[in-house]
Structure 1
């Protein structure tokens, strides 16, 4: 019989001998997964080792995985992102994995709105995303068609590149330009301290995607009762090394040229993009010429730090044909405004040059704490002969925004606290002259305008048991103008005027319930505050509007979004009621200058819906994509407590708002590279004056784009396309002049028109 003690001793010795080798073979792999485009952490990514072990990333995107041997392959998979596999050769370094997003549905889209950085299904608020594929389904000569696919949003062009934008409201405050909507480019405010956004200085190709937040967002983004637009600039992605060039030609003298170079690595990226667009114009005095140069760069000096820098230079010239009466519109929609102060005679046009520079850094102190700080500066010059005067303005501005985010768990409650501030300071030298046949003549006014605006904000977000998410936010907003009149021709007198729209608290509370993994409901109450812009206080005729007050309002909304039918059908429905006090409206005076004043109030109730159904989406099939989608907006907007010249306008429809609008589209793509996009837009009749005695006719316009995209070998990609707009050859007015003097309400849009072009990419 064998000695049992000897057997046990030999077994123990063998175990002690083999254990170090076993421990040596095992290794702990740690890392972090991020969205390659936004650099936001991704929670819920499945990490699978080639030896079978698995792990799931936490809310900070981190994972830890013990494997049985060295040199294993790790596969990272996440819904809405391309699967990535890499070999982990060294366990001493933390891995940083960047996943590329694919075409996503509601469950997969991660949004930055409300500073939540959550999937859209987990975001309590009316928020829409214009993805790259939506921007690229049109010819990129204008943002208007892409933005107008979003329910509750209306973008117009009074003239080529003369943008006007409203979110859940009318364009009464915006006879020209963009007001009452806050716009950011990345972390950088594009809306200047004076309340004006010159979005037309940028090109549609400068953006990767657009987030549109509807309703008051002052609790996070400052003054504004309309909403907020977050523009994501084009950037090079990690591993991208591409040269690209393209051209487009179209009706009415459209010429468009683009060229870009992008280089991306794990530590840095750089994109340089140049665009040039010319347009002869459908109407007389409606030509346009714009050049933009975009430079974006990103640096990742460590796993904790991300630095982004943007520089945009723009040189824009466009002509202003002016509004027509209905008789002129019916007789010849191609004509420009005539008469002694006609657009051609006075060379009514806009010439703007601008440089916008921004620098931002996100620094992650730990898994719980991070800070994002952005600094920016801009310089802009405007030379603007108008029908009745001539303006020359020079503006310089600087500002910054900083926010801290703290994430922790209080028992079963996940908590994210965000707090920070924003400050902008702008100085403008503005001179107005008589317009003598398109040349500056006698000086009318010489002003210096100093605008200062800022806010402090805080927000707490709680992830509660039973799939509830609660949000409470508060901000303190303040805007101040200091106007110095150096000279006024009529009186010769100089004066100083200061106006402080004192600090106003803007709260927001929101609640979201996830009914399932595919369905959520949400509701919110928010307060808005919007002071006048400097152009509303100091109009171009030199009159100082000292009585104008800030708008204030409260918004209530509730919505449901989700997807069903095996994830083929997605929908997003929001109902809202917004009561706005001290509503600012505009009217044209005898010299066609817009003058502004407060009226009692408006009540704005509406319904916004977006829906889409994907029949096919499989790159292996001959027809790789087939889907239909649509959006519908119902607007019941009415004046309240509004008296003008003894006339009671209470209950009238809000000027410039169509009660019903709708957009529908069809997307078709094949495995061989052929694709087809069809789009149709409907707008109901629109009241053009506060009295509701003049309406723009309802219209339906349709567009189509047919193209062929193909890889040529390993390095080239060719995209050849052609398209048409206004296939129905509808006669309609886009960008109507509201409350126009002399009944010049109509700005005719182009009839049926065509375009075609190509782009060629080369992978280095």
Structure 2
């Protein structure tokens, strides 16, 4: 299968007939394939998309450690994926870390088009095994025109698609430092009208720090079938059973003395090891998507899903047992016509989610539940309607006008409580946020085939999540208000040397009001409050291209004996780099009698850089060195404490080969943090007692093999 064929299939585009080629190795210079994005509901080339969109392909993911997505995602400028503990992810887009001390908030996430962010606003990103991800699109900044409320951005995860006309089974195993043991099994088959892909992944890790072991079992099933000449039905099942220990934050002195230790105890509070702090969940998600093409111009896509989860979390003082159910759906009607002799694309639709959770908190007695502290029932309903128009104007201009109408309501009923006064023994409250319009206007101009420039203005609305309103110590913050923001953006994309070298540059200014910030109490409880405003301005740049390139062509016999375009594999040396400059500062912000206006935004850094090389040659050997840099991070709103910046280096190399057109072989090994740099990733912000630091692993190696058989 050719790299071009795989690329088109991953994007869901039809394969076009290829000119005849001989089954021999040939070398010639070729252009990079042009990316197509699904963001904002239109399948348009990236150069025709008037927004900052980061695209992560499977090829980039495969250049890094297969046990985590962190390094691959961080190659996107303006995007940071961090691990506070093993598999405890925190995703930040343009400074949204401020209100995400743990988990993923203020970033809307979709999985194969299914709303993956819960109705309450949180996203369990740790459910996704890296092997399940074939593609990621990140829409930066407010994207309320199509995806509803939010000021951080949108992440669209997609699983790999099955190549039509093939069947394949594969198995892989990886071992590495700190007790890494990982295995995957994949089975897939595809035809012109249907496909099935099933994948299982198991991962264990003893962990770099004390109290940081992990075990995860995940299963994904993707089915797609053409039910009629006009209709397609897809089903996606995801089930994950995950548990990992929580080592806790360290003070600067503890971090410098021994970064591998867990948070120790004090005279009044037991430590993480003694309390056996951990997180465990079992979650299932089932989604169905139906696409119906009334005509070539009119299409309807409808998605429905259901989810269920059971979560147990043991922290220093409390032991939580939460169960939750979620239901939701999304529909979008798309129409293409002509107005004044020029193309007009219209779309409109709606999305709705309902969630119910029962949250019970007990006293934590060394990792087991003790006396019941409180029992809450939480209901959340959220939804929005959206419209968008894309109009091709003269002079190669593209105008986009869109808006969404968003609503959110939650209710919290305390069934019982043993908390001391003044906490009430029971209550039943509800709150509805005022409906908000989130418009977006963008204009793009193509200046020839090698350059496009755009500008956009968008408004965002981000209400607090239920975890922010109801904290783990049993308190409620009914005064917490929704964030509102306005984003201004200018960008340019282009290429040189017949599309062999690409670049992208974005300038943005996000002005937030009622910004939500967090702090941590002496019991490790994270609480939230609104500030006056923040100014989040920055620059993002990306560059990639071939220094030297060949295309290898080999012939393959398929099971149906139909002659198809032979697979092609690009080889050579490719270089890439991404950089982000962030000038994120508080506006009006008074705290504790101090004026913090002008201070850097807590949890953010002014500079990030990611770069690397991707070398491969026609015999199957490949090597991908990489580096990452992050400048110092401010840890308090007052900017009195910082985490030092760092540089990290790593590499992955190996040998992959296909024998007899059927047996796929991939042997690989890699090294992360090659210089054994000591640094903290996923810092705790405004932490009580100065426990800011969550040490990242030291030097770590891994090695593995993957074998696949094509039928």
Aligned CA distance change for structure 1 residues 299 and 317 (closer, same or farther; 3 Å) = same
Among 259, 262, 267, the alignment partner of 2:188 is: 262
* Separation in 1, partners of 2:14, 2:660: 35
Residues 383-442 of structure 1 deviation map (CA, whole Å, 9 limit, x = unaligned): 111112111100001000000001011132210001000000000000011111111111
What is the aligned partner in structure 2 of residue 407 from structure 1? 336
1:478 aligns with 2:425: no
Residues 692-733 of structure 1 deviation map (CA, whole Å, 9 limit, x = unaligned): 111111100011001000112231011000000001211100
Secondary structure, in 3 states, of the residue corresponding to 1:327?
A: helix
Secondary structure, in 3 states, of the residue corresponding to 1:619?
A: strand
* Separation in 2, partners of 1:653, 1:515: 37
What is the aligned partner in structure 2 of residue 391 from structure 1? 320
* Separation in 1, partners of 2:598, 2:383: 36
What is the aligned partner in structure 2 of residue 700 from structure 1? 647
Q: How does 1:298-313 map to 2 (within 5 A)?
A: 298-313=224-239
* Separation in 2, partners of 1:452, 1:106: 44
CA contact (8 A) 2:635 2:683 kept: yes
* Separation in 2, partners of 1:719, 1:36: 22
Residues 582-635 of structure 1 deviation map (CA, whole Å, 9 limit, x = unaligned): 000011123120010000000010000000121222124999221111000000
Unaligned runs of 5+ in 1: 1-33, 46-74, 78-82, 86-102
Q: How does 1:637-676 map to 2 (within 5 A)?
A: 637-676=584-623
Greater displacement, 194-203 / 132-141 = 132-141
Among 651, 658, 666, the alignment partner of 1:711 is: 658
Secondary structure, in 3 states, of the residue corresponding to 1:516?
A: coil
CA contact (8 A) 1:235 1:297 kept: no
1:223 aligns with 2:223: no
What is the aligned partner in structure 2 of residue 153 from structure 1? 79
1:301 positional shift: 2.1
CA contact (8 A) 2:82 2:681 kept: yes
What is the aligned partner in structure 2 of residue 319 from structure 1? 245
Secondary structure, in 3 states, of the residue corresponding to 2:689?
A: helix
* Separation in 1, partners of 2:8, 2:193: 15
CA contact (8 A) 2:300 2:331 kept: yes
Secondary structure, in 3 states, of the residue corresponding to 1:614?
A: strand
Secondary structure, in 3 states, of the residue corresponding to 2:253?
A: helix
* Separation in 2, partners of 1:466, 1:169: 36
What is the aligned partner in structure 2 of residue 52 from structure 1? none
> Alignment length, in residue pairs?
678
Secondary structure, in 3 states, of the residue corresponding to 1:466?
A: coil
Residues 229-288 of structure 1 deviation map (CA, whole Å, 9 limit, x = unaligned): 001123322112000000000000000000010000011100110000000001000000
CA contact (8 A) 2:671 2:702 kept: yes
* Separation in 1, partners of 2:467, 2:594: 27
What is the aligned partner in structure 2 of residue 752 from structure 1? 699
* Separation in 1, partners of 2:159, 2:657: 26
1:565 positional shift: 2.3
Among 10, 28, 32, the alignment partner of 1:37 is: 10
Among 423, 436, 440, the alignment partner of 2:352 is: 423
TM-score normalised per structure 1: 0.87
1:172 positional shift: 2.2
* Separation in 2, partners of 1:131, 1:318: 28
1:275 aligns with 2:204: no
CA contact (8 A) 1:575 1:607 kept: yes
* Separation in 1, partners of 2:522, 2:651: 42
Residues 489-534 of structure 1 deviation map (CA, whole Å, 9 limit, x = unaligned): 1256211111111210000000000101121001100000000000
CA contact (8 A) 2:10 2:160 kept: no
Aligned CA distance change for structure 1 residues 629 and 411 (closer, same or farther; 3 Å) = same
What is the aligned partner in structure 1 of residue 365 from structure 2? 436
Greater displacement, 296-305 / 736-745 = 296-305
What is the aligned partner in structure 2 of residue 497 from structure 1? 429
Name the larger-Rg structure. 1
* Separation in 1, partners of 2:225, 2:533: 49
What is the aligned partner in structure 2 of residue 601 from structure 1? 533
Greater displacement, 512-521 / 565-574 = 565-574
CA contact (8 A) 1:552 1:582 kept: yes
CA contact (8 A) 2:49 2:444 kept: yes
Aligned CA distance change for structure 1 residues 138 and 452 (closer, same or farther; 3 Å) = same
What is the aligned partner in structure 1 of residue 259 from structure 2? 333
1:568 aligns with 2:500: yes
1:243 aligns with 2:169: yes
TM-score normalised per structure 2: 0.93
* Separation in 2, partners of 1:570, 1:703: 24
Secondary structure, in 3 states, of the residue corresponding to 1:171?
A: helix
1:40 positional shift: 4.5
* Separation in 2, partners of 1:41, 1:714: 23
Secondary structure, in 3 states, of the residue corresponding to 2:10?
A: coil
* Separation in 2, partners of 1:468, 1:412: 14
* Separation in 1, partners of 2:705, 2:18: 35
Aligned CA distance change for structure 1 residues 484 and 347 (closer, same or farther; 3 Å) = same
CA contact (8 A) 2:11 2:36 kept: no
Secondary structure, in 3 states, of the residue corresponding to 2:395?
A: helix
CA RMSD between the two structures: 1.8
Residues 647-670 of structure 1 deviation map (CA, whole Å, 9 limit, x = unaligned): 111100001111011001101000
Aligned CA distance change for structure 1 residues 84 and 464 (closer, same or farther; 3 Å) = farther
CA contact (8 A) 1:472 1:510 kept: yes
Among 345, 357, 381, the alignment partner of 1:452 is: 381
Unaligned runs of 5+ in 2: 1-6, 23-28, 554-568
* Separation in 2, partners of 1:205, 1:348: 28
Among 186, 190, 202, the alignment partner of 2:116 is: 190
Aligned CA distance change for structure 1 residues 737 and 106 (closer, same or farther; 3 Å) = farther
1:200 aligns with 2:147: no
1:285 aligns with 2:211: yes
* Separation in 2, partners of 1:363, 1:666: 43
CA contact (8 A) 1:129 1:211 kept: yes
Among 735, 751, 764, the alignment partner of 2:682 is: 735
CA contact (8 A) 2:31 2:500 kept: no
Q: How does 1:510-549 map to 2 (within 5 A)?
A: 510-549=442-481
What is the aligned partner in structure 2 of residue 349 from structure 1? 278
Among 25, 32, 38, the alignment partner of 1:112 is: 38
CA contact (8 A) 1:106 1:121 kept: no
Greater displacement, 538-547 / 103-112 = 103-112
* Separation in 2, partners of 1:623, 1:377: 41
1:139 aligns with 2:65: yes
